[in-house]
Amino acid sequence: MRDAQTLWAFLQGQPACLVPSDIIIVCGSYDLRVCDHASALMRAGTAPRMLITGATGNWTRHLWERSEADVFLDRARSLGVDAGQITLERRATNFAENIRFSRDLLPGVRRATFVTKRNSVLRVKHTLAVQWPELTAAIDAPATAFPDDVSNQIGVLGLIDEMVGDLHRMLHYPKLGYQSPVSIPGDVLCAWRMLVESGFDRHLLDAPLA
């Protein structure tokens, strides 16, 4: 758990909401609290529009029969967001696609607030730097804590697997042009290796560990 806490602290980066924004871009996932937070930002006047992006991913293909965007749409409407303010993007299966497909749908947008899971903030930041570098953007997330607030959709062990996979992607994706390079501290790499050796390898890439 100490190693997992180290990964959690690193991956959440520094969430921040950009006010005012042209639009709130919501990255779909298994965690409906992401949509709850984005809807609260809409009600608070952060932006006049919302785009929800997401097809299905590692978790949601087993959870729902519809896209993440459609599930989040229903949630946002139930929380008082007018459907006329929402655009859906139903093709993206990863953060690079979330951002690139959103960019293609929003050619006039210059300022955006992205909303994602707490442990995905740093990945979104470094993916934005490559996929939409001209955008003035901030990344926000629900104020969840590890391990107390882990989504019951995947549980603590599932989230540890996800975080181990996220760090593996941050090591390899800059080489593939998906995101900008990340400086990963030695204690984070050590914690990651310990978790891999402990069997948290279900979300690793088919790529070398180093």
pLDDT digit string (tens) for 103-133? 999 999 999 999 999 999 999 999 999 999 9
pLDDT band at 60 (very low <50, low <70, confident <90, very high): confident
What pTM, to 2 d.p., does this model score?
0.95
Diameter over CA atoms, the chain: 49
Residue range 43-55, pLDDT digits in tens: 999 999 999 999 9
pLDDT digits (tens, 9 = 90+) for 4-48: 999 999 999 999 999 999 999 999 999 999 999 999 999 999 999
CA distance 68 to 209: 30
10 Å Cβ neighbour count for 194?
15
Q: Distances from the Cα of 7 to the Cαs of 112, 169, 191, in angstroms?
A: 27, 13, 7
Q: What is the CA 39 to chain-centroid distance, rounded?
A: 16
